[in-house]
């Protein structure tokens, strides 16, 4: 995560997602295609609520009952569902 992003409005959430490595995604990137074949994993995401200055992958999230398409950074990937549930409960983070 870049230094300039530290103070941007954001929320943390956990979401099951395919593995990708860049903003181009599996349609435009061979490495993303290979990673996507590994399957989904649960990720701790930092969802940015405003537009940024660099290209990032985007995902749809519901914030305050509104559907938003937001940039995100993957903070952590979890190994299994048990680890996800423990982390979410200990840190009061929603799993979506």
Structural domain for 19, as ranges: 3-91
Question: What share of the chain has pLDDT > 70, as a percent?
Answer: 94
pLDDT at 2: 53
On whether the pTM is more than 0.85, the answer is: no
Helix, strand, coil percentages for the chain (3-state, nearest 5):
25, 40, 35
Give domain status of residue 86, yes or no: yes
Give domain status of residue 44, yes or no: yes
pLDDT at 4: 59
Q: What is the pLDDT of residues 37-64, one digit of tens each?
A: 888 999 999 999 887 777 788 888 887 8
Q: How many domains does the chain have?
A: 1
Mean pLDDT of the chain: 86
Give domain status of residue 96, yes or no: no
pLDDT at 19: 84
Yes or no: say if 58 and 69 are a contact pair by the CB < 8 Å rule.
yes
């Amino acid at each position: 995560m870049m230094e300039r992003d530290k103070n941007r409005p954001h929320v943390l959430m956990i979401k099951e997602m395919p593995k990708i490595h860049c903003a181009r995604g599996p349609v435009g990137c061979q490495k993303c295609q290979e990673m996507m074949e590994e399957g989904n994993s649960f990720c701790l995401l930092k969802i940015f609520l405003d537009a940024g200055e660099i290209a990032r992958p985007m995902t749809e999230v519901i914030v305050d009952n509104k559907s938003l398409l937001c940039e995100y950074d993957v903070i952590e990937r979890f190994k299994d569902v048990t680890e996800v549930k423990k982390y979410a409960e200990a840190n009061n983070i929603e799993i979506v």
